Amino acid sequence: MNTAEKFQVPALGEVWPGEGGIYAGVMPARGDAPAYRMILGAELGRFEWGPYAEEAPVTGLIDGFTNTLVLIESDDEYPAAKAAYEHEADGHNDFYLPAVAELYEIWLNLNGKNDGWVWSSSQRSANYAFHMHFGDGTQSYGVKDGELRVRPVRRLPI
């Protein structure tokens, strides 16, 4: 694929050939963080978020990439983040568990084209982590030792 073909952006919700998933739109710039395009990977299955009744070393609601790296480098096990981090598609291995704000942007961009509850990388408390229903946009939180679907994301600079 030549450079011009690589940057032909597909329609929202369409597979982006060679990028590991479907084009899920743009995450707007926030603070010092620049805007980026999001690629939504395939559903990986159902996983626990992580240990119940333990504070995880993440508090971010916006940056799933950083959240995922912090969880992966932790001494505790975070199965949802690990599954997303280890995902590879189309030769890309830079996937992560999206933050709750990223999931919301994906839902806005895809207009409910995906269905079901998915974990975010955003913790709410020692007992709960945020998740989102892609069908109707509901955001809530669930017990960390419960199993929900994981949809990894990767980002492309704009």
> For residue 136, what are the domain limits?
3-157
Burial 63-102 (b: 16+ CB within 10 A, else e): bbbebbbbbeeeeeebbbbbbbbebebeebeebbbbbbbb
How many independent structural domains does the chain possess?
Answer: 1
The model's pLDDT over 129-140, given as tens digits with 9 standing for 90+, comes to 999 998 888 899
Q: How far apart are CA 52 and CA 20, in angstroms?
A: 32
- State the average pLDDT for the chain: 92
Q: What is the pTM of this model?
A: 0.93
Residues 6+ apart with CB under 8 A from 68: 81, 84, 85, 96, 97, 121
The model's pLDDT over 28-76, given as tens digits with 9 standing for 90+, comes to 998 888 999 999 999 999 999 999 999 999 889 999 999 999 999 998 9
pLDDT score of 36: 97
Report residue 2's pLDDT band, with 50, 70 and 90 as the boundaries. very low
